[in-house]
Structure 1
Amino acid sequence: MAVELIENFLLAGKWDVSTLQTPVADVAHAVVRGRFGEALTSSYAQQLFKFRLAETLENSFDLSASLTQDEQENELLRLVFAVACLQAFLQVNWTGPEIDFKPLDILSQIEPQSLTDDTINQLAIAELASGGEPAYHLARHALFLRLAQILLDAPYQYCQTAIWWRLRAHIAHQQVIDEPVLLPEDVLATFEHWQNPFASDNPDLAGRWLLEYGLLHHTFQQDKMAAEYFVKASRATDLQYELTGALGKRTKFQQNELSQLVLLAESHLPDESSEKTEVPSTSEPNQTIVPETLALNDDTLLEQTEFTSSKPTTDLSTSSLHRLDPSDQPPLHPLDQCILLSLCLNVRNTSPLHGLTSEQMSPYVARVISHPRNWTIHTMSLLIRSRLEASRTRTVERSALQLQALVDQMPATDADAAPVSERLRYLHSISLPPKWELERELAHRFISLGVIKSALDIYERLEMWEEVVKCHVSLERPDRGITIVKDLLAGNKVESEAVVSREKASGAENSMKRLQRLDTAREAKLWCILGDLEPEHAVDHYKYAWDISKSTSGRAMRSLGGFHFARTEYELARECLQKAVKIDPLLSRSWFILGCACMRLEDWQGAKDAFARCVTIDEEDGESWSNLASMYLRIEQSNKDDVSGDSSVVMHSNKQLAFRALKEGLKRSYDNWRMWSNYMIIAVDVGELAEACRALGRVIEETSNKADGVVLDEDVLDRLVNAVTHAPSKPQEALDSTGSDQVQHILNPNEGRGLLPRVLDLFDRTILPRVSSARVFRSYARLLTWIGRWEDTMKAWMDAYRESDAGKITRGEIVAVATIDNNSGRQLWREAVGEVEEIVDILRNVGARLEASGSTKKWRLQAKSVVRSFMGRTRENFEDDPEWHRLESLLEDLKQE
């Protein structure tokens, strides 16, 4: 048996017509062609699926039965049947059309006889609950997914790709449960270290594995890691792509050609149309059956960008893609289309540093839509386009209508519909949601448009009771939501026809008790919903949900923890949330509230750990980065208070960690001036003065338009100037010594000449146009003195004088009046006299420098003018003061010079 060859066919979803004519191969062939009923009702399947109801479904089958005399064939058949079950489940719940057989049709020797398809479906759904998260109770034929899991969890010695199918089953399972549940470490390690046997000689399967492993990370919202694997997949398939610009028009009335974003892309995988594979009889060769692509029909926007240039606007002479015409690019291989669409999955992303923004995603989707190659891929591309268009006024209507069309096309079974094998072939290579999630998304879209009644109808049909309750609350009818939940819990409201038929058909009382016990995950969720609706009884409802779930409902502990936190019961909140994150560690919101509760309790280490988990889950969470930095500083302060000896090492380490955390956070919260201010202070503390300079500029820019005025930390500004002026002024003395003539000398960016350009730019472009204060001008003057710009130095010192008390007294902005009862005015005047003496000394010293350089600037006249103006303004009140002679002496000295 060519085991590896059949495994190849199963993974690729296509069969080579020239090979393999054996009974086992025939079963595998049927699976590849999408004839799952034929495979699962074969004589081999009847031997394997002998069923006797036990405590669990896994124990209800004897998977050790020998199906053939050959051990390799036995193992291959188990894998083939696992694939058939998984694909049949995906066909029913993802792509359609309906299958022509039922779960009970594949089971033999069924006991008890009272079991029905609906009953066994509920048994499977109960077992699919994971980590306290219930499986969607209306998922159809859930037994197939459970059977696939049972068969794939068995040990495999000869079939190397069983691990790959296990990955596919896990991804499907994650989409069936309410919230993703992180897989055990040993399972993740198995996937991470698995060596793809097709990686070396089959770029198609090499790219598929990397792509699907990236989709697993995307399922867990690890988008950065997922994007890395998507890029690796593109390298494995040798997909060449580049986002650039080309001249074109986007509107019907546009006169001038403008640069438009375009994705240039080219595949290097073999063209599928030239491969020797079977063509399903339901479709003609070279004919692609895809969902309907709705037109925009806008009075202004064009259906698609019209590129008027055959060349990109940028110089791509070093790129192999520069020869492509943006308006006439060659079709892409379907797998390469999947890779491009996967790069667009993170639609919520807004930071170019961490993936594509929404504006950048549109050319990726347009590149795929322009050449339909596969039914499922085209469905996904239209879905992503619908998501991107949902927030734009001119495209929101098509967004909703296209989504409705995608929902409606799923059950199609007519001759014009795409065959099953075509629909399933690339399903594992994209992130297409199941039918119920697609309809839920449509309902969300209706709510965003204000069509709440239509959304409510969808939610009620899908029996998504939490969303139903939210709709009633938004319609100001919370009492109806409470009534619905209570009726469900009391058994007075029938959820679905499946439940009705189950109750009628099942005459065995013990079976019904078992079903009720296995449905506790969903019952616990309903109690949590009721707790949200009845705050006065919330604690009792949440606790009851926790009890009936046998301490597995993460939702119950999340809700209870949030309830206690809102009422400042932080100790109770911490206790509940610690249980919640232990059950489901992927929800960053739970970690965040736990961190806040720990902060209130001054548990700095616990808060640090919680916020660290937040940023691990969601790197875009700027607030968590900021809080994490604060916790590092709190821990540092605790070490400083409690530890002696080498505590400075710990302190410095924590300061560095806080600095790095804030640096990461600012990438996500670039406009948060308070975070910049904290970052600036820590940067000064750890000696990163170049970064402190940048942060000070950002604080000023962000606060320049605020009603309270510009925020400027003058102490930090003085530190920056000191760092420049206390270093050697000669460039050759400021170079770092490396001890080798072979190594180029560099300037330290945090002091002296290395820091100087940043600080000068900070003054010239940011501070001086916005801030006028004596201290700022003095700092600027000190900086100019250090670099020897003497005329600018004199001007800066004069600006500083004008903003001083002496300058304001001279201009009449401050009235210094000395009276018998109040000496404050006399004290102010005497301090101002000192400022006058200071500016005269500075003018004398700087003037000498100017004279030495040949300048004709009349510094003495300026100094005399300063003294005379001050004396003239204050003579009436202070001429009799004992200190007046200081001014007369100063003026006399200037006359004699």
Structure 2
Amino acid sequence: MNNYNLGLLHSYLLILSPFQSFKALFLDGVSNVGIEKSLIEPISLILKGQSNQVLSLEIFKDLLFDEELIKKKVVLEFGNDTKKQESDDLNQNEKLLKKHLILIFAVSLLQLFLQLNFTGPKINEEKVSETVNQFFKPIIHENDKLADQISEEISKSLNLNGQFIYELTNHPFLLLFSLHLLEKLSLTEKSLLISKEIDAESLSTSTLINNNRSEDSDNVLLAASNWWRSRALQVHMSLFFEISGPHVVVSSLLLNKTLLDPLIHEINRDNIAENKNNELIKNLYARYYLEKVRSYLQAETESLCLNPLDDLNDITGFQMALTGAKAKRTKYQEKSIASLILLALSSNEDLFDDSHLIKSNDNTIENFKLNSDYMLERPKYEEIGDKTLIENFNQNSVDSETSSTFFNAIPLLLESGSISEDLRNLDPNNQPRLNDLDNIQLLLRLAIVRQTSPSKDPLAEEELLSIVQRILFTSEEDIKTNGSKTNWLIFSKCLWERSLIESTKSKTLERGILQMEALVEELGMSMNHKYIPEIGKNNKDEQDSDISAERLRFVYQLPLLPRWAMDVELAEKYMSVGLIKSSIEIYERLKLTNDLALCYMSIGQEKNAEKLLLERIEKKPDDARPYSILGDIRQDTTLWFKAWEVGKYSNAKISLGKYYYYNKKHKDLAESMKHLKDALAINPLKKNNWFFYGCVALEALDYETAAQAFTRSVAIDDTQTFAWSNLSSALANLNKNEEALSALQKAVRSIKDSNKSGSKLWENYLIISSRLQKWNHVLIAVKQLSNLKKDSLGEKSVDLPVVQKLVEVLVEKPYPTNENEKLTFFQKDCIQYVCNDLPKLITTSTRLWKVVAKVELWRKKPWECLACYEKAFRAVIHDPNLSSEQDIWNKAVECCEDLVASYESLGELPGKYGADDVVCKNWRYKSKSSIRSLMSKGKRTWEDSDGWERLTKLKEHLGL
């Protein structure tokens, strides 16, 4: 077999290329030489959206539907423990062609499962059932009682860590068998379908993932198998309401750049052009990076998304910028107001964007209009880079806590001068259509913003809306010219996101709810009735294949949303607007007992919730989730332990950990840590759980464990300010001050709050850097603390002992007077702070003026030094408590003595201008005036004090 053609075939299958492109190359062109015809037909059917027909091909009947094979290696494997007798001949003894066919068959199973449960359109399930039943006919024919057992075993094989997949999932066996075949083709030593006791902390890459390669032909097969297995695992995870277990880790490990190497090597074998100049290779790279981002989002590790997004832009050349523009939003608005707008432009070369060639008969989703008497359907933008918006956004967003949580998902370029010329030249009211991959990138960035920003945050919602509008508000002229439209699935996802935003606002609530209902009806396909009357719907079978191909094309790059998940979100939206009955009806129709119980809890009907949960436990004793939820209601530890016993349900252990931490009567830090550790062994990608585990360990004085926990937390998300801060505390208690300072440096870089928490962080930074005598860092901390506290504390914001120590370090070495000698960075920065910044804060502190005077004298500027002593004396002599408090009087006497001594020692020195002038020619007169001024203010009260005697002696010393 031709390895080059194999690489091409699997690449086209991986990107789910439009059939027209595949046909032009492999069927109508000359590239079909050396291609095995048996591979062309099933791949063609998959790309045409006819995966159900792949299952009926004769070649697969001969290969997989043999009765003995079914009996021994397909069904019974999932119901007993004789797992090592699995179909080894499927991987080792069959020829390479059969392996490729098996991979294609696994892909068709996965595609069909997605069409049935995610994207639609509806399919003739009788035909699917007939095909699936071929697996079971030999078994059921012998024993009809095995039918129910087989169905139960299929469900159990897909359940994970005490969680059941959605009960009404259509044909779960399709996913199960696809995962099974992909595991075999990936040559893994341990199956995730069989080994239910695997915890993610004990994963071994070598046992779960096999990247060993021998022959070139096997390299392509292994790379493609691993990529498809990663996709199938993410589909599997999306069937659960809470993601946990080893699947997240394995999926991420599978999705690495080694997948691309064999494919690109084969494609480029006879191609002189560089990799990134090849359109197919660009598309492979783009799909890889998009799926990498999607996997990070699914694992809730959003902070890891930015690097693959940057790499993606290097491949696609996509340009975008979030900026400000004056806009009118209502019909009768006379004055434009500041608004956010997303400028975006695709590169000239569309990556396999054949939307203008696809003649899909899919009906356009109904895009509901506002139909408002005063609100415009879309804003009318005027000037880009509005300065008013810049000021408002800087005040309300840039320095706020919420702004830093956006992870810079969208480049923020508020000033028009910082926007590229290509984007500046765009008409904001008529931007050109983006290609589908760039639209997907925007939707992924939208998901990042949504997952990392507070709910109902107005700035975040404005940013989200600008992304949605950029996709929806495509130039009609561009559509007419190019004859292309946005992909159906992308468009529907965008409408869904707009609905989620608009349903939170009173002015757009109606459209948001109606649009959600229409999308649930169209995508959900699970309604017993229609929210919107059906008009002119055509569901002919011959049209469905083109429709399904278009809908499935980008399903692996977009966040996966099963049809019932949309119903659940609609139910939650009904709850938020007070439509409790409608929400309950949805949960009941979907048979989501656990979620219905939570719904009852939210409205204060705990008894109904408990009743439902008990019924669920009686019906499904192996389902761990109802035990845990019931434990949360009753605060009963036995129920949480039962949930853990039933299915290693990690949330039950989290609840136990919190119970033993927060419950005052039963507080037990060691017990809490034990349960949290068990939960994290199952699900190690929850940064919040690692953070809580570290906090408990800190309180328990287990600094080693705390350091490990916070290290794991920041490894998942390195923008967690408090995690870095707590890590530094743990390391400092372990006498690892260097590491503690490094952690604090990361903490202050990701700081979100500029007041209380920020001050505490910089105080810790000051302490650790002082211990290490790293004076550069000490100075940075002192400056930051002064800036944070100066508005509320003034001169008291300055840590005087630390500043005095910094000045001691500064003046240890003589001030460089030679032109060849230069000030060090520390010296420059310290001089800037002490001599320029500090005097602006001083009001009454004589000690601070003396610190400044010391530095000025060191700088060979006696006139500045003398001025500092004068300011210190003036500050204390004007103190209203001078005549009533002896401490202040004594301080004033001391300042007077220092001032006179300065006049005496500095007055005759060369002056500032160097023209035979001196620092203070009349220093004797000024000394006399200072002494007399102070004595006149203290004569009535302090004439008999020691300070008065000191002043008298000072006068005598000067001969006055």
The alignment's TM-score, normalised by the length of structure 1, stands at 0.80
1:373 paired to 2:486 = yes
Q: Map of 1:659-738 to 2, 5 A cutoff?
A: 659-666=744-751, 672=757, 673-703=759-789, 711-730=797-816
Using a 3 Å threshold, how does the CA distance of structure 1 residues 301 and 720 change in structure 2: closer, same or farther?
farther
1:40 paired to 2:55 = yes
Report the residue type matching 1:833 in the other structure.
V
- Residue 631 of structure 1, CA deviation: 0.5
- Residue 785 of structure 1, CA deviation: 4.0
Report what 2:437 is aligned to: 335
* Separation in structure 2 between the aligned mates of residue 635 and residue 186 of structure 1, nearest angstrom: 34
Check whether the contact 2:370–2:508 (CA below 8 A) recurs between aligned residues.
Answer: yes
In terms of mean alpha carbon deviation, does 168-177 or 774-783 score higher?
A: 774-783
Q: 1:657 aligns with which of 742, 747, 761?
A: 742
* Separation in structure 2 between the aligned mates of residue 150 and residue 86 of structure 1, nearest angstrom: 11
Deviations 1:280-327 (A, max 9, x none): 5x35xxxxx543333345676643342346999734797555544333
Report what 1:842 is aligned to: 902
1:88 paired to 2:112 = yes
* Separation in structure 2 between the aligned mates of residue 241 and residue 33 of structure 1, nearest angstrom: 33
Q: Secondary structure at the match of 1:154?
A: helix
**Which structure has more RCO (C-alpha within 8 Å, separation ≥ 6)?**
2
Using a 3 Å threshold, how does the CA distance of structure 1 residues 277 and 885 change in structure 2: closer, same or farther?
closer
Deviations 1:721-770 (A, max 9, x none): 4444445433757957xxxxxxxxxx533x212432345554256x34xx
Identity across matched positions, percent? 24
Report what 2:122 is aligned to: 98
Check whether the contact 1:267–1:336 (CA below 8 A) recurs between aligned residues.
Answer: no
Report what 2:306 is aligned to: 227
Report the residue type matching 1:748 in the other structure.
T
* Separation in structure 2 between the aligned mates of residue 128 and residue 475 of structure 1, nearest angstrom: 33
Q: Considering only aligned residues, what root-mean-square deviation do their CA atoms show, in Å?
A: 4.0
- Residue 183 of structure 1, CA deviation: 4.1
Using a 3 Å threshold, how does the CA distance of structure 1 residues 677 and 852 change in structure 2: closer, same or farther?
closer
Deviations 1:800-833 (A, max 9, x none): 33555x764xx445524xxxxxxxx5x8755653
* Separation in structure 2 between the aligned mates of residue 582 and residue 676 of structure 1, nearest angstrom: 34
Report the residue type matching 1:441 in the other structure.
E
Q: Secondary structure at the match of 1:80?
A: helix
Check whether the contact 1:350–1:358 (CA below 8 A) recurs between aligned residues.
Answer: no
- Residue 585 of structure 1, CA deviation: 0.7
Check whether the contact 1:624–1:665 (CA below 8 A) recurs between aligned residues.
Answer: no
Q: Secondary structure at the match of 2:122?
A: coil
Using a 3 Å threshold, how does the CA distance of structure 1 residues 598 and 863 change in structure 2: closer, same or farther?
same
Report what 1:304 is aligned to: 378
Report what 1:17 is aligned to: 23
Report the residue type matching 1:219 in the other structure.
Q
Deviations 1:415-439 (A, max 9, x none): 3898111111111121142223223
Using a 3 Å threshold, how does the CA distance of structure 1 residues 852 and 422 change in structure 2: closer, same or farther?
closer
- Residue 488 of structure 1, CA deviation: 2.0
* Separation in structure 2 between the aligned mates of residue 707 and residue 852 of structure 1, nearest angstrom: 34
Q: How many residue pairs align between the two structures?
A: 813
Deviations 1:509-533 (A, max 9, x none): xxxxxxx6xx72x2x2211111111
Report the residue type matching 2:538 in the other structure.
A
Report what 1:54 is aligned to: 76
1:553 paired to 2:649 = yes
Deviations 1:45-85 (A, max 9, x none): 44414544425169899857889x99344223212221121
* Separation in structure 2 between the aligned mates of residue 587 and residue 731 of structure 1, nearest angstrom: 58
Report what 2:410 is aligned to: none
1:111 paired to 2:114 = no
In terms of mean alpha carbon deviation, does 138-147 or 829-838 score higher?
A: 829-838
Report the residue type matching 1:634 in the other structure.
N
Q: Map of 1:539-578 to 2, 5 A cutoff?
A: 539-549=637-647, 552-567=648-663, 568-578=667-677
Report the residue type matching 1:33 in the other structure.
K
1:529 paired to 2:629 = yes
- Residue 583 of structure 1, CA deviation: 1.3
Q: Map of 1:287-326 to 2, 5 A cutoff?
A: 289-296=363-370, 302-308=376-382, 314-315=416-417, 319-326=421-428
Report what 2:409 is aligned to: none
* Separation in structure 1 between the aligned mates of residue 750 and residue 417 of structure 2, nearest angstrom: 35
- Residue 579 of structure 1, CA deviation: 1.3
Using a 3 Å threshold, how does the CA distance of structure 1 residues 812 and 533 change in structure 2: closer, same or farther?
closer
Report what 1:780 is aligned to: 852
* Separation in structure 1 between the aligned mates of residue 787 and residue 575 of structure 2, nearest angstrom: 38
Q: 1:604 aligns with which of 698, 703, 716?
A: 703
Using a 3 Å threshold, how does the CA distance of structure 1 residues 867 and 573 change in structure 2: closer, same or farther?
same
Report what 1:640 is aligned to: none
Report what 1:868 is aligned to: 932
Which consecutive unaligned segments of at least 5 residues does structure 1 have?
284-288, 492-515, 637-650, 737-746, 817-824
Using a 3 Å threshold, how does the CA distance of structure 1 residues 577 and 814 change in structure 2: closer, same or farther?
farther
Deviations 1:115-163 (A, max 9, x none): 7998755533322233454433343322111111011112263634222
Q: Map of 1:434-453 to 2, 5 A cutoff?
A: 434-453=562-581
Check whether the contact 2:233–2:251 (CA below 8 A) recurs between aligned residues.
Answer: no
Check whether the contact 2:340–2:466 (CA below 8 A) recurs between aligned residues.
Answer: no
1:179 paired to 2:179 = no
Report the residue type matching 1:840 in the other structure.
V
* Separation in structure 2 between the aligned mates of residue 299 and residue 701 of structure 1, nearest angstrom: 50
* Separation in structure 1 between the aligned mates of residue 558 and residue 322 of structure 2, nearest angstrom: 21
Report what 2:192 is aligned to: none
Q: 1:763 aligns with which of 814, 835, 838?
A: 838
Q: Secondary structure at the match of 2:345?
A: strand
Report what 1:404 is aligned to: 517
- Residue 876 of structure 1, CA deviation: 3.9
Report the residue type matching 1:111 in the other structure.
I
Q: 1:263 aligns with which of 330, 333, 343?
A: 343
Report what 1:27 is aligned to: 42
* Separation in structure 2 between the aligned mates of residue 464 and residue 714 of structure 1, nearest angstrom: 63
- Residue 249 of structure 1, CA deviation: 4.5
Check whether the contact 1:248–1:307 (CA below 8 A) recurs between aligned residues.
Answer: yes
Using a 3 Å threshold, how does the CA distance of structure 1 residues 264 and 734 change in structure 2: closer, same or farther?
farther
* Separation in structure 2 between the aligned mates of residue 895 and residue 851 of structure 1, nearest angstrom: 25
Report the residue type matching 1:781 in the other structure.
A
- Residue 604 of structure 1, CA deviation: 0.5
The alignment's TM-score, normalised by the length of structure 2, stands at 0.75
- Residue 460 of structure 1, CA deviation: 4.0
Q: Secondary structure at the match of 2:549?
A: helix
Using a 3 Å threshold, how does the CA distance of structure 1 residues 180 and 727 change in structure 2: closer, same or farther?
farther
Report what 1:748 is aligned to: 824
Deviations 1:590-632 (A, max 9, x none): 2222212222221101011111112222333322221111101
Deviations 1:407-457 (A, max 9, x none): 232156933898111111111121142223223333344444455554444
* Separation in structure 2 between the aligned mates of residue 94 and residue 375 of structure 1, nearest angstrom: 13
Check whether the contact 1:125–1:136 (CA below 8 A) recurs between aligned residues.
Answer: no
1:888 paired to 2:957 = no
* Separation in structure 2 between the aligned mates of residue 790 and residue 450 of structure 1, nearest angstrom: 75
Report what 1:815 is aligned to: 884
Check whether the contact 1:46–1:107 (CA below 8 A) recurs between aligned residues.
Answer: no
In terms of mean alpha carbon deviation, does 777-786 or 600-609 score higher?
A: 777-786
- Residue 195 of structure 1, CA deviation: 2.5
Check whether the contact 2:165–2:239 (CA below 8 A) recurs between aligned residues.
Answer: yes
Q: Secondary structure at the match of 2:447?
A: coil
Q: Secondary structure at the match of 1:99?
A: coil
- Residue 191 of structure 1, CA deviation: 3.1
Using a 3 Å threshold, how does the CA distance of structure 1 residues 859 and 692 change in structure 2: closer, same or farther?
same
* Separation in structure 2 between the aligned mates of residue 669 and residue 864 of structure 1, nearest angstrom: 49
Using a 3 Å threshold, how does the CA distance of structure 1 residues 857 and 368 change in structure 2: closer, same or farther?
farther
Deviations 1:520-562 (A, max 9, x none): 2x2x221111111112xx121122222233xx22222222122
1:488 paired to 2:616 = yes
1:382 paired to 2:495 = yes
- Residue 569 of structure 1, CA deviation: 0.4
